[in-house]
A and B are shown apart, each in its own frame.
Chain A
Amino acid sequence: MTATNETAAQISTLADEKYKYGFVTDIETDQAPKGLNEDIIRLISTKKKDPPWLLEKRLKAYKHWLTMAEPEWAMVTFPPIDYQDSYYFSAPKTTDQPKSLDEVDPELLRTYEKLGIPLQEQEILAGVAVDAVFDSVSVATTYKGKLEELGIIFCSFSEALQKCPELIREHMGSVVPYADNKHACLNAAVFTDGSFVYIPPGVRCPMELSTYFRINAAETGQFERTLIIADKGSYVSYLEGCTAPMRDEHQLHAAVVELIALEDAEIKYSTVQNWYPGDAEGKGGIYNFVTKRGACRGDRSKISWTQVETGSAITWKYPSCILQGDDSVGEFYSVAITNNMQQADTGTKMIHIGRNTSSRIISKGISAGRANNTYRGLVRILPTAEGARNYTQCDSLLIGDRCGAHTVPYIESRNPTARVEHEATTSKISDDQLFYCRQRGISDEEAVSLVVNGFCREVLQHLPMEFAVEAQKLVGISLEGSVG
């Protein structure tokens, strides 16, 4: 299979330690040295067979990135990132890629087991160098044929660049401009792959599109870029990630997701994020700095974000909606769980531009251990947004007495006809609830899982069925050890 062969090829190249990349574009190599400069970006561009306009965009983004400051307003702390100490193309995996599941962290395996993930998939998730062809290839192929019949394009970003460059040229960066923030800007300069979806007018995508089934999904890397375009009157539900924790050695993940919904189109985007959170003392873990934004360009269009964030050492993420079209609708349903030393600063922005636009925000933050969990949300009603409505509900649940929950809502209304509602609550899992569960035979950990799942129910029920069940289990697993 392609992904496996590619990995194997990389490994054999890297095994030769003497190899040194010399700043000239050498198409035969699959690895660039550490660090970031124009040459590296040119190399990435060549490797990805970019059209010239894209290289220009990358270089422009890079130059701008050099001038940008790190966003500092979020309630998260971490040492400065040394960008020159990272690989931006084909990071080496030889040093610590496990050869079999025996070499994988038993904690990780225990989690896979609890989630009921088949052995073969466990190997892929854990980054074991697998030679066997993964079963889902055939599934993916059948699936692809069906989508093609309907005119749906669903492929990797690189593939799309070859297939339909004009669509990408038109829309990429139109929702998240390269200069948006430092992380998005870095992504614009160095992104290597990601997903692309186009749904033609009037087509209702008959299945959930999931990165999980996309061939090559395993190697999309730390600077992913996703672009989804739903043409007039179309519908698509897209699932990102998978519920099992991914073994990943990259520390910084700076992904960008752009959604575009034209007239009467609807995009439902669901994420379950369970990257490595670091150990109980806060060592290691992923920095999940992601810029996700959707534009409801057409009248009566709708974008709905659902996220379950349980992993990563730091989550910095605000999936947002720009409600341009009249009567367009934006939704944000979020569960963010932080345990041990995890930090999450997450929320959304709803920008109301069109008339009678409406948005709904339901956020559930759960904090345990010594973690900090912040909801940060902006509801902005522009003068043009006659009759705009927003409803926001932010609930925080605390487990133990060393964690923190914070709610930071920003509301700006410049139209007197707008109606904006905000409700917030903070509660603790009570000893009474835990004892009541235990008196019925339910263990401590299951009790916490039950109570927290109840707390999150409103959000979890927006996930597609197959995701919801695993997400429920995940809620329990990510809070293990938080009581008793």
Chain B
Amino acid sequence: MPLLEIKDLHARVEDKTILEGINLTIEAGEIHAIMGPNGSGKSTLSYVLSGREGYEVTGGEVLYQGVDLLQMAPEIRAREGVFLAFQYPVEIPGVATTTFLKAALNAVRKHRGEAELDAMQFVKLARAKATSLNIGDDMLKRAINTGFSGGEKKRAEVLQMALLEPRLAILDETDSGLDIDALKVVAGGVNALRSADRSMLIITHYQRLLDFIIPDHVHVLAGGRIVKSGGKELALELEEKGYGEFLGEAA
């Protein structure tokens, strides 16, 4: 059974149809990249999969581990192992990163039938994960995302992913706003989290990120549909030719 099966998915935001029949199958352990021009529906896809309000599914289905994903509340999807690394991680003033992450991890652990961690255990674990990913734990004491630089925000997202150990990680434009050094750190963290039972869906506008996180499959999303799929070499091809040909096709 595939980890994720998206079948003929249609979705709209308010009155605007954005996804017009997405088909995509992701097997356990695979890394898929979705590339496409601005406005093609990349972020919409990530929000529909994670269950954000305001994104209305008008047709098709999504099976996650064989179960209807779209019926689940967003927090249930998260606890079942769907993780979204946000393009713009949200600031929550006054809430320490440790407090936030401990609440998240314990919600997930409880769901899995595992014992909840106390503050000491949690901090120890968080530090160990940060060290192993080489991403630093300096942000743990600060209010989550509040006043973080672009790089810090993305590192914090990767640390969260490492702690929550998702089955399916969706990385929405993780490369946006990062300089090359920050990008390498973040990509290194993501690569360290690759495993046979973890799949990733990497959404990006540029090929650059895929130099560091090598995907198994690359798809081109344009006009709300996947218009072309291929191996990792497709990303290079896009880099060279741009999205011009697909823009025409989509219209």
Q: B111: which A residues are within 8 A, CB to CB?
A: 441
Report if B104 contacts A (CB, 8 A).
yes
Q: B92: which A residues are within 8 A, CB to CB?
A: 433, 436-437, 450-451, 454
Q: How far is the CA of A161 from the CA of B103 in the complex (A)?
A: 50
Q: B75: which A residues are within 8 A, CB to CB?
A: 438-439, 441-444
Q: A446: which B residues are within 8 A, CB to CB?
A: 103, 107
* Interface bracket on B: 20 to 34
Q: B51: which A residues are within 8 A, CB to CB?
A: 438-439
Report if B160 contacts A (CB, 8 A).
yes
Report if A458 contacts B (CB, 8 A).
yes
Taking a contact as CB atoms closer than 8 A, the residue among A441, A443, A444, A457 that contacts B94 in the complex is A457
Q: For chain A, residues 308 to 323, give those with C-beta under 8 angstroms from any C-beta of chain B.
A: none
Residue of B nearest to A443 (CB): B75
A231 → B minimal CB distance (Å): 38
Taking a contact as CB atoms closer than 8 A, the residue among B53, B79, B90 that contacts A441 in the complex is B79
7 further interface pairs, Cβ-Cβ under 8 Å (given A439-B50, A456-B94)? A439-B52, A440-B103, A446-B107, A450-B103, A453-B95, A454-B92, A454-B143
Q: For chain A, residues 410 to 465, give those with C-beta under 8 angstroms from any C-beta of chain B.
A: 430-433, 435-444, 446, 450-451, 453-458
Q: B50: which A residues are within 8 A, CB to CB?
A: 439
Report if B108 contacts A (CB, 8 A).
yes
B16 → A minimal CB distance (Å): 18
Residue of A nearest to B73 (CB): A438
Q: How far is the CA of A441 from the CA of B74 in the complex (A)?
A: 8
**Helix, strand, loop or mixed for chain A's interface?**
helix
A406 → B minimal CB distance (Å): 22
Residue of A nearest to B93 (CB): A454
Q: How far is the CA of A442 from the CA of B50 in the complex (A)?
A: 13
Q: A431: which B residues are within 8 A, CB to CB?
A: 53-54
Instruction: Given the known inter-chain contacts A451-B92, A455-B94, please indicate yes or no for A438 contacting B103, CB distance below 8 A.
Output: no
Q: How far is the CA of A437 from the CA of B75 in the complex (A)?
A: 8
Q: A439: which B residues are within 8 A, CB to CB?
A: 50-52, 74-75, 77-78, 83-84, 86
- 18 pairs from A and B in contact (CB 8 Å cutoff): A433-B90, A435-B52, A435-B74, A439-B51, A439-B78, A440-B103, A440-B164, A441-B78, A442-B75, A442-B103, A446-B103, A450-B100, A451-B92, A454-B92, A454-B95, A456-B94, A457-B94, A458-B94
Instruction: Given the known inter-chain contacts A436-B90, A446-B103, please indicate yes or no for A441 contacting B95, CB distance below 8 A.
Output: no
Q: For chain B, residues 114 to 169, give those with C-beta under 8 angstroms from any C-beta of chain A.
A: 143, 160, 164
A314 → B minimal CB distance (Å): 28
Instruction: Point out which of A440, A442, A454 has the most chain B C-beta atoms below 10 A from its C-beta.
Output: A440
Report if B99 contacts A (CB, 8 A).
yes
B160 and A440 within 8 A (CB): yes
Q: How far is the CA of A443 from the CA of B110 in the complex (A)?
A: 12
Q: How far is the CA of A438 from the CA of B104 in the complex (A)?
A: 9
**Chain B residues engaging chain A, CB cutoff 8 angstroms:** 50-54, 73-75, 77-79, 83-84, 86, 89-90, 92-95, 99-101, 103-104, 107-108, 111, 143, 160, 164
Q: B84: which A residues are within 8 A, CB to CB?
A: 439
Q: A456: which B residues are within 8 A, CB to CB?
A: 94
B211 → A minimal CB distance (Å): 28
Instruction: Given the known inter-chain contacts A431-B53, A446-B107, please indicate yes or no for A438 contacting B78, CB distance below 8 A.
Output: yes
Q: B73: which A residues are within 8 A, CB to CB?
A: 438
Residue of B nearest to A449 (CB): B103
Instruction: Given the known inter-chain contacts A436-B90, A439-B50, A442-B103, please indicate yes or no for A451 contacting B95, CB distance below 8 A.
Output: yes
Residue of A nearest to B94 (CB): A454
Taking a contact as CB atoms closer than 8 A, the residue among A435, A440, A444, A453 that contacts B104 in the complex is A440
Q: B100: which A residues are within 8 A, CB to CB?
A: 437, 440, 450
B107 and A436 within 8 A (CB): no
B113 → A minimal CB distance (Å): 14
B95 and A450 within 8 A (CB): yes
Q: How far is the CA of A443 from the CA of B104 in the complex (A)?
A: 9
A436 and B94 within 8 A (CB): no
Q: How far is the CA of A455 from the CA of B53 in the complex (A)?
A: 24
B93 and A438 within 8 A (CB): no
Residue of A nearest to B145 (CB): A436
A381 → B minimal CB distance (Å): 31
Q: How far is the CA of A60 from the CA of B111 in the complex (A)?
A: 64
A233 → B minimal CB distance (Å): 35
Instruction: Given the known inter-chain contacts A431-B53, A439-B74, A444-B75, please indicate yes or no for A455 contacting B93, CB distance below 8 A.
Output: yes
Q: How far is the CA of A443 from the CA of B73 in the complex (A)?
A: 9
Q: A430: which B residues are within 8 A, CB to CB?
A: 90
Residue of B nearest to A432 (CB): B90
B93 and A436 within 8 A (CB): no
Q: A444: which B residues are within 8 A, CB to CB?
A: 75
B71 → A minimal CB distance (Å): 15
Q: Which 10 residue pairs of A and B lie closest in terms of their CB atoms, listed nearest first?
A: A454-B94, A454-B95, A440-B104, A441-B107, A436-B90, A441-B78, A457-B94, A438-B74, A438-B75, A441-B79
Residue of A nearest to B106 (CB): A441
Q: How far is the CA of A277 from the CA of B216 in the complex (A)?
A: 58
Q: How far is the CA of A464 from the CA of B108 in the complex (A)?
A: 31
A398 → B minimal CB distance (Å): 15
Instruction: Point out which of B54, B83, B89, B107 has the most chain A C-beta atoms below 10 A from its C-beta.
Output: B107
Q: A441: which B residues are within 8 A, CB to CB?
A: 75, 78-79, 104, 107-108, 111, 164
Taking a contact as CB atoms closer than 8 A, the residue among A442, A453, A454 that contacts B107 in the complex is A442
